[in-house]
Amino acid sequence: MPVSQLTLNDETRTPWIAFGTGTALYGKDAHQAVTVAIRNGFTHLDGAQQYNNEDSLGAGIAASGKPRSELYITTKLGELKPGDTPKSALEESLGKLRVDYVDLYLVHHALSHVGRLKDIWIGMEEARNAGLTKSIGVSNFTSDHLSEILEVATIPPAINQLEVHPYVWKALQPTLSLHQKYSIVTSSYGGLSPLVRGRGGPLDPVVENIRTRLARARGSAVSEGQVLHKYFQQKGILVVTTSTKVERILEYLDTENVPELTPDEIEDIEAAGAKLHKRFFVNCSFTSRYIHI
């Protein structure tokens, strides 16, 4: 079954679920994992200069045999070397990825470019105007960071990739409000953290009750992870996830076939999430400060 797509504010389209090469694959050879992911149905590959594995991501893409036109490739701008620009950094990434362009280029961290975010965003627009990427966006940006670059942007960010799950949903509201205003798609990494890293919280029984109902309605198994992924899909959120296991990859993609959550179930997830604020990754906070958790 084809993966459904999201329309971005620049009128391009992206698969709603992506295979990520950070976290478990950070700094590691991603060749085999990427090839397996593509051959089992993933078409959106999410990489980054900071992950230090763009060359093996490119090797995996090449080994898959999938035509470039059928893939959606994302990479992210890391810290710039002296004399570099977002455009020149992307040109270097394209060589490692073995492609002529990427579909999406994100500023990975605002913290890497303190005091020059506006210049960085102008450089991102230059990369897009040069045809090196179809879309540009950001990652780990708060509402303050977004407001700063929007003062100079002639092209608004298409996507903001953040740690998104029910335990941070309430805290994200100022940023999500700006997303809505400028039609910026929210992208989630670490979306399954409440189930994988945060067991014992108020979300657990809610997700289990929904999973049981969905499995009964479907007439076959539904996992807890599929419950949260379906929640994200219905919210119009782009999910970045990963696994080295074929059965898990197929489970993620099978979310397409899971029945939809009811409006009440979506409210139950958000109400349970609001009872606990918990983050699982070290990145920027949801205000203008930076914290380590």
What are the residue numbers of the active site? 51
| Residues 38 and 24: beta-carbon distance below 8 Å | no
Half-sphere exposure of residue 9: CA atoms within 13 angstroms, side-chain side: 17
| Residues 234 and 260: beta-carbon distance below 8 Å | yes
Q: Judge whether 108 is annotated as a binding position.
A: yes
| Residues 140 and 109: beta-carbon distance below 8 Å | yes
H or E stretch at 182: helix 173-182
How far the first Cα of the chain sits from its last, in Å, is: 39
Token pair in block for residue 278: 């918990």
Give dist(CA 77, CA 85) in Å, integer.
10
Residues comprising the binding site for substrate?
Answer: 108
